[in-house]
DNA sequence: CCCCGCATTCCACAGAATGGAATTGATGGG
DNA sequence: CCCATCAATTCCATTCTGTGGAATGCGGGG
């Protein structure tokens, strides 16, 4: 593979941030597991992450004894272990925004017959804390959490960009330019428009998948990262029509969530 | 705290297993977050894990840049980050047993009006991969994954013990004896009975919470850890009555899942 | 039976992690 | 307004711990 140009000091993580290399690498290994790459052997991991085989072997061992990975001797490979699910449960139960929002999201989804999601940013993607998906047959109403979608293409991500600080926004755009030099001009244009729309109306809309339209609105809560609520639906209707129908309910959901948050913040901090 | 007797070489992890200390510690920090301990500051973490403050500080920094932790400056504390949810989604999507079982679990839950869960062991607890909870009002049908329950008290755990190797079982009992010296005799008795019951009927039952009865049956699939399916329900009925009603459906669910697994295994491995 | 690929173990090296102490920074009371 | 307090971070000398190339083991397939 990369036998020739192996740089001495790994790939020069000159982030300026002091980091713990072993931990960093261990986490890289964890993150190498993603939907579609469920079972990975040591050499695949070594290849994906660029870490030496011997090192990978030791790291996977500790990950296994920690329960984050389980070894499948049949396949000579690892999968993510159930411990991860416990951590995820802790995230969900411990997230005040999700706790406040989820009941409201459910009832809104029921009432309006749309999908309602709550997401936040992770690196350069949005990740759903939860998305309650509306479905005629209630048995199929799945709840999906952890799904990742691009920031630049979705109403979710654009609403997020509209709410974060100038600094963060330009930093993101810079990275985007590096990642997608070709499409950058048009993307930036769309993003700017969406941000303007949010500044004016507190929401923006997009249809990045064929026949599915989504509206999103940011949730800015002091001390917490920016969250975004969205409503989406699969329909042949044109975008403006859907926007007209959903923008008011979305903003109302937004207010309810913010109210609920204020309340829970109030009861957390003792009365002055 | 333990200011006096600080052993030089950490707490002598003489597991015999070579372990990566930094990674191990970083993961310990992650695991310190659990439902009920959502937001933790560096010093709390240092106290909980016994790791030096300076070290904790560096590890949390790494965890933050990896996205597994987010810093809340307001509270001078950390919470688990959304990245964890993505990992959890990868677990769920990548777990062949869950994928095979979930639709069957859903329909069984609907049909029988009971909760249906799938779990496996993690250290000395069982953790639900998923539990589809039955509820009259379909809007409240939550799906819980990652919840932990004790092995020794639950039908889930006892069915698990019945299916693992002799070695693992006695190892667990030994640890149990250490952890619960007082209650050990009675617990062991109950466990042995449950195991006998599984050996005879392929399921066992228990009611470890007041008015909630559960039946469980182990799923042994070569090359994978032992999984357990259970059905549970909150009812004032006496245990035998519930057992009579649910044992057949449970075993039938078990068979369906095993069949589905065989099928998916078959299509995974190319035809010989 | 032998070979091949992958995982694990070994080993010498040095880079990286460690923790006590000092520093910085934020909070709240006087 | 300033100081006392508490927590988080940074510093720095020490050395332990992680590292990766090579050797060894382990299975499976031809």
3-state per-residue secondary structure call for chain B: CCCCCCCCCCCCCCCCCCCCHHHHHHHHHHHHCECCECCECHHHHHHHHCCCHHHHHHHHHHHHHCCCEEEEHHHCEEEECCHHHHHHHHHHHHCHHHHHHHHHHHHHHHHHCCEEEEEEEECCEEEEEEEECCCCCHHHCCEECCCEEECCCCHHHHHHHHHCCHHHHHHHHHHHHHHCCCCHHHHHHHHHHHHHHHHHHCCEEEEEECCEEEEEEEECCCCCCCEEEEEEEECCCCHHHHHHHHHHHHHHHHHHHHHHHHHHHHHHCCCC
Question: Domain coordinates of chain A in residue numbers?
Answer: 21-81, 86-268
CB B156 within 8 A of CB B120: no
A23 touches strand D (CB under 7 A): no
Q: Is A111 on the interface with B (CB under 8 A)?
A: no
Percent helix, percent strand, percent coil in chain A, to nearest 5: 50, 20, 30
Beta-strand runs (E) in chain A: 69-72, 77-80, 115-122, 125-132, 143-144, 148-150, 204-209, 212-219, 227-234
State pLDDT tens for residues B220-242: 998 889 999 999 999 999 999 99
Specify the 3-state DSSP secondary structure of A76.
Answer: coil
- What fold is seen in the domain B21-81? Arc Repressor Mutant, subunit A (1.10.10)
Of the ranges A41-55, A71-85, A124-138, which one carries the lowest mean pLDDT score?
A: A124-138
B61 touches strand D (CB under 7 A): yes
State pLDDT tens for residues A87-143: 999 999 999 999 999 999 999 999 999 999 999 999 999 999 999 998 766 656 677
B108/chain A closest Cα distance in angstroms: 11
B232/chain A closest Cα distance in angstroms: 19
Is the sign of the CA dihedral B165, B166, B171, B172 positive or negative? positive
Q: What pLDDT, on the 0 to 100 scale, is given for residue B234?
A: 92
- Which of the residues B51, B78, B88 would you substitute to probe the A interface, choosing the one with the greatest number of A C-beta atoms within 10 Å? B88
CB A251 within 8 A of CB A229: no
Tell me which residue of A78, A72, A74 sits closest to A33, measured CA to CA.
A78
State what percent of residues in chain B have pLDDT above 90: 78
Burial of A170 (0-12, 13-18, 19+ CB in 10 A): exposed
The CA distance from B172 to B185, in Å, is 14
The CA distance from B11 to B111, in Å, is 52
Q: What pLDDT, on the 0 to 100 scale, is given for residue A8?
A: 32
Q: Which nucleotides of D are covered by protein (CB under 7 A)?
A: 7-11, 16-22
Distances (CA, A) of B127 to A163, A170, A215, B118, B122: 38, 43, 36, 8, 6
* B window 162-181: Cβ near strand D (< 7 A): none
A55 touches strand D (CB under 7 A): yes
* A window 201-230: Cβ near strand C (< 7 A): none
- Phi/psi of residue A230, each to 5°? -140, 160
Stated in angstroms, how far is B194 CA from C23 C1'?
60
CB A133 within 8 A of CB A144: yes
CATH for B86-268, options being 1.10.150.120, 3.40.50.150, 3.30.450.40, 3.40.190.10? 3.30.450.40
B24 closest CB neighbour out of A39, A66, A146: A66
State pLDDT tens for residues A176-226: 999 999 999 999 999 999 999 999 999 999 998 888 999 999 999 988 899
Stated in angstroms, how far is A53 CA from D23 C1'?
14
Q: Is B95 on the interface with A (CB under 8 A)?
A: yes
Tell me which residue of A135, A127, A150 sits closest to A208, measured CA to CA.
A150
B266/chain A closest Cα distance in angstroms: 14
Q: What pLDDT, on the 0 to 100 scale, is given for residue A138?
A: 60
Q: Work out the pLDDT band at B17, boundaries 50, 70, 90.
A: low
CB A83 within 8 A of CB B127: yes
Distances (CA, A) of A196 to A200, A202, A229, A250: 6, 9, 18, 18
Q: What pLDDT, on the 0 to 100 scale, is given for residue B13?
A: 38
- Phi/psi of residue A262, each to 5°? -55, -45
Q: What is the dihedral of CA B148, B150, B153, B154, to 10 degrees?
A: 30
Q: Taking CB atoms and an 8 Å cutoff, what residues of chain B touch A31?
A: 66, 83, 87
Which of 121-150 (B) contact A at CB < 8 A? 122-123, 127-129, 138-139, 141-148
Residue A17 has pLDDT above 60, yes or no: yes
* A window 56-75: Cβ near strand D (< 7 A): 58-59
């Amino acid at each position: 593979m990369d036998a020739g140009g192996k740089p001495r000091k790994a790939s020069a993580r000159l982030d300026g941030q002091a980091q713990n290399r072993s931990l960093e690498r261990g986490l890289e290994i964890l993150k190498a597991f993603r939907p579609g790459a469920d079972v990975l052997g040591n050499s695949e991991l070594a290849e994906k992450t660029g870490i030496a085989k011997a090192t990978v072997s030791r790291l996977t061992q500790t990950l296994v004894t920690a329960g984050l990975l389980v070894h499948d001797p049949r396949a000579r490979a690892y999968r993510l272990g159930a411990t991860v699910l416990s951590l995820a449960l802790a995230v969900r139960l411990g997230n005040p925004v999700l706790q406040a929002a989820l009941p409201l999201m459910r009832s809104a989804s029921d009432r309006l017959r749309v999908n309602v999601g709550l997401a936040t940013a992770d690196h350069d993607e949005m990740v759903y804390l939860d998305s309650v998906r509306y479905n005629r047959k209630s048995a199929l109403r799945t709840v999906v959490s952890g799904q990742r979608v691009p920031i630049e293409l979705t109403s979710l991500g654009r609403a997020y960009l509209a709410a974060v600080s100038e600094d963060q926004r330009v930093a993101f755009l810079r990275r985007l330019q590096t990642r997608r030099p070709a499409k950058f001009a048009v993307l930036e244009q769309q993003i700017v428009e969406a941000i303007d729309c949010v500044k004016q109306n507190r929401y923006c809309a997009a249809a990045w998948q064929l026949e599915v339209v989504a509206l999103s609105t940011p949730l800015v809560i002091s001390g917490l990262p920016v969250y975004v609520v969205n409503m989406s639906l699969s329909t042949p209707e044109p975008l403006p029509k859907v926007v007209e129908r959903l923008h008011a309910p979305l903003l109302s959901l937004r207010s309810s969530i913010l109210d609920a948050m204020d309340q829970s913040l109030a009861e957390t901090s003792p009365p002055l």
